[in-house]
Structure 1
Amino acid sequence: MTSPAQVPSTPLLPISPRPVAVIDIGATSIRMAIAEIHADGDVRTLDTLVQPADLGREVFAVRRLSRKSIERAATVLKQYQRVLREYGITPGPDLRIVATTAVREAMNRVAFTDRIFIVTGLNIESIDEAEVSRITYMGIAPQLRGEPELADGRSVVVEIGGGNTEVLVIRSGNVMHSQSYRLGSLRLLQQIESSRVSPSRRRSFIESHVRRTLDNIVADVSEDPTNRIVAFGGDIRFAAHRLLDDWDGTSLTPLPTEKLADFTNEILQLDEDTIVKRFGASFIEAETLGPALLAYTMLAQAFQQPFLYVCDTNLRDGLLHDMAVGGSWTDEFRNQIIRSALGLGRRFDFDESHARNVAELSRKLFLQLAREHQLDYRQEVLLYVAALLHEIGLMINVRSNHKHALYVIRNSEIFGLSRSELLQVGLVARYYRRAYPQQSHEGYGSLGREDRVTVAKLAAILRLAIALDDTRSGRIQEIECVREAKQLVIQVPGVEDVSLEQVAMRQNAGLFRDVFGMPVLLRAGR
């Protein structure tokens, strides 16, 4: 008999790379990227496909997608399906299809996504500006970390797309500002057509519209001697390929503003047919090139930058990096959301010390009550943000500050949070006091059942955390949650007298009892 020591070990087989794909339905084209994700999280792009689809022009003009455009998109996606099958990629977690500004602004976007599903069986996700910013950050952050001058500096990351201009301000890896502006090359063209601008006035018309948006961008971003413009998008890459002989097409590279201005002047003097013939552009590229490059040039000049960095990163790169981490919010990304929330709170002069104490106590309650609430990591982040901002409405009105908190949060920009998530955060903050959630309340009644239950659970936990810091002294830092005889006992180690907090807990624990079916007892630690 062979002894155990003599049994040969079975060699570990290498884990095969996982094939994935992302499809981006934009204002001017439908693009697909196919990649493989390795076991260490590394992403390697295998193939890219681009098909023109002029969805933005009609949406920006009449707010609807025509039957012809819908069928064109369905045809392109059917073609992409054949390629996906060759790579062994089927609908599911290995395929993500997103639609941006054009589809999002179409009044018949549901009819569009339903028709695509009927024809192809594919689900399209219409993502808002916050999700675009999050995905952009996922794609651009590795590039910035790899460039010494940008890694510790202040990067103003800009993409001028067909419908919107996306701006991210990143310093040392931290997002300082994110905003979407209604300035896009295709939107500008639509405005030119609707206003019947003569060819001689075309440039001045574009400059006038761009300048109005630039004034807002400059005011939002603020002057800083360390500002560096990082530009990405098809139009700026098109220019860089023709102006920079030594660019490898992938790395960050500086493009002199003066060179870009000269090239922009040349493009604006040519008609679309000449641009197509001279530079090998598609017709849609030829249309959008002039307005987009003029906007990039004016942006660099507004920030007094002698050059701007051109980046090959795009939305699909961010989507692929997001898939590599399983769509989860990393600790780094969680910190970005919280920094953005703190920035909002400071603008409303909130009690930051109390807010931070309540947020930390909320997090500890959330972790220790995981068996009861059955929520995931994302909901913990939403609770934390709501805890930070629950008193943000005090600056507006003390009596109804909880309702004003909902309004402020719902109508603000917090980096990384979608409109739906902002509504949930606002509602959790709204229910930190007074009435319990009710179907008739603004915002709450519009939620689906799952989100309504989530809001109720998080608001119940938030009320407990607020009671624990009722003295606003921060003296309660640690807690231990114990289930005893069908009740929740919160023990406070190291604090002998919690009589004030016990009074607050009796007032605040009713929602928790109703949601989780457990009364709450606060007990001093031994």
Structure 2
Amino acid sequence: MNKKKGGKIAAVIDIGSNLLKMRICQLRKGEIVTLDRLQYPLNLGHEVFTGGKISFESLRELSSILHGYSDIMAEYGVDQYKVVATTALREAKNRAYVLDQLKIQNDMTVEVLEDSQEKTLIYSEILAGLQTMAPQKMGNALISYIGAGTIGLSVFDGQNMVFSQNVPMGALKLHDMLGSIQEETDSFYVVVKEYLDSIIGRIRLPQPEGGFESLVLTGNEIELIAKICGIEPENGRYIIKAKQIKSLFKEIRSLSKEKISDRFGIEEEVAELLYSALAIYVRLMQFVKADHIIAPKVDLWFALMKQMLIPKSANEYAEHVRVNALSCARAMARVYNVNEHHTENIRKFACKIFDKMKGMHGLDRRKRLLLELASIMHDCGHYVNAKEHLSSSFDLLKNIDLYGMTAEEMLIIAYIARYNEYDVPNYDGLEFIRIREPIRLVISKLVAIFRLANALDKAHKQKLDDIKVRLDKNRLLITGESNENLYLEKWAFEQTAPFFKEVFGINPELTIKSTMI
């Protein structure tokens, strides 16, 4: 097989919970064209969700199929490829051994996507596809991706995401957890409903005034559900009436997997997932008044493929994450009654210092985003405990889901928000010893910048509307104009300056000019 004429060829291999998939594509005249598509059934999810580990038999099978995929990539002349894994490998206790063996046996580096990374890539494609719909038709929407092992939930306000959370419960995991009860009762669907109520029903979704206008659901089973309902896709999406989903679940909810398999001509393993997926869909429909669901045809591979074949799309995706992460952070801060004027002031000051120090800190724009997010949410802890608000902010931020952020990034954000003019990171402290050295260094740099910015609005009264920042040899000169009393801010600034100098070797100096003529 010769390399096709045209642009570069790329491949994405997705090690999923129940399927190993590969897609090979080429860029032709600005369009991504599929050259080949393969998939192979695996039981990784079953093994991990029931036993916690991937067996070596499954690992050998996985490695063997990947060797075959490598041969096919070579035949096509693939220029670059990416191998990703999701829930099954993410939750496997022996993940390190599996990744090591795949590197040794197949010379493949597998990127295990975190929940937030996987869902955000999918959400970006969902929103790109929904842009063709009129905004007034879309309105406020609950958007959910139902995977094999997790459910992603996000709230869209018509412009941006304002909430994002991942639930450790997917179609396959739900079946593996409760499947043993099915043979014991004819009312298994009641057990499933009660269990989903105890998980999904307790999530505090930010309900827009008047409720959600749209429900956007997608996942591996959506095409099968649409096919059973006799729905054809339009403009890359299915529009399925809510009553059709409810009717279909009512039809199968008391049936065994064998009977579901016979009725629809599908494999029993697929029948199990169909049951679980429908149960989750019906539960999510309780959040929304809409009489239909919008089900886009999206997949993880396309978002990854686009970033490889269309270079500018990587920057577009980074901007998508930035805008929506900031939107979610502001929405969350409002829940905890923060002073938005104060936090936006701090964010602006912190960014100015960060940008001017670019040649000194060596941090990228993603780290700048972490600084922005910490600035917006740093006062959330006051809602919990005014006496220990710094510790409360730390505990809150390290444990929440924020659009597009990894667990490690949320930990960095929590640490940035953890320190004020009295406290600095302690490298010898137990909490810091557990963190990798490069991350400790990132935290220290961002904390130094944040503390300086935070000091400039210590009274929370925005006495300084703006600042000018200039780097002069070993001095960072910060200048502001105000006719108000800034003795508190100057004191706080002096308290934060020594740590800044310790981290960067630069002495920050604050000059306030009077606005009086």
The two structures share one fold, judged by TM-score above 0.5: yes
User: Matches of 2:156 and 2:505 in 1, distance apart?
Assistant: 45
Q: Which moved more, 1:329-338 or 1:257-266?
A: 257-266
User: Matches of 1:38 and 1:446 in 2, distance apart?
Assistant: 48
Contact 1:29/1:53 (8 A) holds in 2: yes
* CA 1:179–1:420: 2 relative to 1, 3 Å: same
User: Is the aligned partner of 1:173 residue 2:194?
Assistant: no
Which of 411, 414, 419 is the equivalent residue of 2:407? Answer: 419
* CA 1:161–1:329: 2 relative to 1, 3 Å: closer
User: Matches of 2:478 and 2:135 in 1, distance apart?
Assistant: 50
- Indicate the residue corresponding to 1:462 in structure 2: 450
- Indicate the residue corresponding to 1:84 in structure 2: 73
- Indicate the residue corresponding to 1:47 in structure 2: 36
Q: CA shift at 1:472, angstroms? A: 3.0
- Indicate the residue corresponding to 2:140 in structure 1: 154
Which of 216, 220, 223 is the equivalent residue of 2:202? Answer: 216
User: Matches of 1:473 and 1:299 in 2, distance apart?
Assistant: 43
Q: Deviations over 1:228-265 (max 9, x none)?
A: 122212212112123235436x6223112233334334
Q: CA shift at 1:175, angstroms? A: 0.7
1:316 alignment partner, SS class: helix
Q: Deviations over 1:212-237 (max 9, x none)?
A: 33423585656844421222122121
Which of 66, 69, 79 is the equivalent residue of 2:58? Answer: 69
User: Is the aligned partner of 1:28 residue 2:13?
Assistant: no
Contact 2:342/2:457 (8 A) holds in 1: yes
Contact 2:6/2:27 (8 A) holds in 1: no
User: Matches of 1:405 and 1:280 in 2, distance apart?
Assistant: 53
Q: CA shift at 1:128, angstroms? A: 2.0
Q: CA shift at 1:442, angstroms? A: 5.4
Which of 96, 106, 117 is the equivalent residue of 1:110? Answer: 96
User: Matches of 1:471 and 1:272 in 2, distance apart?
Assistant: 64
Q: Which amino acid aligns with 2:240?
A: L
Contact 1:476/1:495 (8 A) holds in 2: no
- Indicate the residue corresponding to 1:238 in structure 2: 224
Q: CA shift at 1:449, angstroms? A: 2.0
User: Matches of 1:52 and 1:187 in 2, distance apart?
Assistant: 16
* CA 1:270–1:78: 2 relative to 1, 3 Å: farther
Gaps in structure 1 of 5+ consecutive residues: 1-14
Which of 125, 128, 134 is the equivalent residue of 1:139? Answer: 125
User: Matches of 1:478 and 1:142 in 2, distance apart?
Assistant: 36
* CA 1:201–1:471: 2 relative to 1, 3 Å: closer
* CA 1:152–1:274: 2 relative to 1, 3 Å: closer
- Indicate the residue corresponding to 1:475 in structure 2: 463
Contact 1:27/1:163 (8 A) holds in 2: yes
* CA 1:271–1:432: 2 relative to 1, 3 Å: same
2:332 alignment partner, SS class: helix
User: Matches of 1:392 and 1:259 in 2, distance apart?
Assistant: 43
1:371 alignment partner, SS class: helix
Gaps in structure 2 of 5+ consecutive residues: none
2:423 alignment partner, SS class: coil
* CA 1:34–1:138: 2 relative to 1, 3 Å: farther
Q: CA shift at 1:273, angstroms? A: 5.4
- Indicate the residue corresponding to 1:510 in structure 2: 498
* CA 1:466–1:203: 2 relative to 1, 3 Å: closer
Contact 1:228/1:308 (8 A) holds in 2: yes
User: Matches of 2:232 and 2:376 in 1, distance apart?
Assistant: 49
2:314 alignment partner, SS class: coil
Which of 27, 40, 49 is the equivalent residue of 1:60? Answer: 49
User: Is the aligned partner of 1:293 residue 2:282?
Assistant: no
Q: CA shift at 1:509, angstroms? A: 0.7
Q: CA shift at 1:510, angstroms? A: 1.0
User: Matches of 1:348 and 1:164 in 2, distance apart?
Assistant: 27
Q: Which amino acid aligns with 1:32?
A: M
Contact 1:155/1:228 (8 A) holds in 2: yes
User: Matches of 1:144 and 1:266 in 2, distance apart?
Assistant: 31
Contact 1:167/1:178 (8 A) holds in 2: yes
Q: CA shift at 1:266, angstroms? A: 4.4
User: Matches of 1:425 and 1:151 in 2, distance apart?
Assistant: 36
* CA 1:119–1:328: 2 relative to 1, 3 Å: farther
Q: Which amino acid aligns with 2:111?
A: E
User: Is the aligned partner of 1:338 residue 2:326?
Assistant: yes
User: Matches of 2:146 and 2:314 in 1, distance apart?
Assistant: 28
Q: Deviations over 1:108-130 (max 9, x none)?
A: 11111111111111111222222
2:93 alignment partner, SS class: coil
What is the TM-score of this pair, normalised by structure 1?
Answer: 0.87
1:491 alignment partner, SS class: strand
User: Matches of 1:357 and 1:18 in 2, distance apart?
Assistant: 46
2:186 alignment partner, SS class: helix
Q: Which moved more, 1:104-113 or 1:159-168?
A: 159-168
Contact 1:139/1:321 (8 A) holds in 2: no
* CA 1:271–1:472: 2 relative to 1, 3 Å: closer
Contact 1:255/1:307 (8 A) holds in 2: yes
- Indicate the residue corresponding to 1:448 in structure 2: 436
Q: Which moved more, 1:30-39 or 1:238-247?
A: 30-39
User: Matches of 1:55 and 1:223 in 2, distance apart?
Assistant: 42
- Indicate the residue corresponding to 1:187 in structure 2: 173
User: Is the aligned partner of 1:198 residue 2:198?
Assistant: no
Contact 1:496/1:525 (8 A) holds in 2: no
Q: Which moved more, 1:259-268 or 1:493-502?
A: 493-502
User: Matches of 1:35 and 1:224 in 2, distance apart?
Assistant: 44
User: Matches of 1:280 and 1:197 in 2, distance apart?
Assistant: 22
User: Is the aligned partner of 1:387 residue 2:372?
Assistant: no
Q: CA shift at 1:134, angstroms? A: 1.4
- Indicate the residue corresponding to 1:315 in structure 2: 300
Q: Which moved more, 1:502-511 or 1:389-398?
A: 389-398
Q: Deviations over 1:38-62 (max 9, x none)?
A: 796x544443322111111121112
Q: Which moved more, 1:504-513 or 1:289-298?
A: 289-298
Q: Deviations over 1:506-525 (max 9, x none)?
A: 21111110011111212235
* CA 1:405–1:66: 2 relative to 1, 3 Å: same
Contact 1:218/1:303 (8 A) holds in 2: no
Identity %: 25
Q: Deviations over 1:8-39 (max 9, x none)?
A: xxxxxxx9634322222222112223333579
Q: Which moved more, 1:330-339 or 1:301-310?
A: 301-310
* CA 1:205–1:496: 2 relative to 1, 3 Å: closer
Which of 117, 128, 151 is the equivalent residue of 2:114? Answer: 128
1:413 alignment partner, SS class: coil
Q: Which amino acid aligns with 1:352?
A: E
- Indicate the residue corresponding to 2:193 in structure 1: 207
- Indicate the residue corresponding to 1:5 in structure 2: none
Q: Which amino acid aligns with 2:104?
A: I
1:509 alignment partner, SS class: helix
Q: CA shift at 1:280, angstroms? A: 5.1
- Indicate the residue corresponding to 1:9 in structure 2: none
User: Matches of 1:39 and 1:428 in 2, distance apart?
Assistant: 45
Contact 1:152/1:173 (8 A) holds in 2: no
Q: Which amino acid aligns with 2:239?
A: P
- Indicate the residue corresponding to 2:9 in structure 1: 19
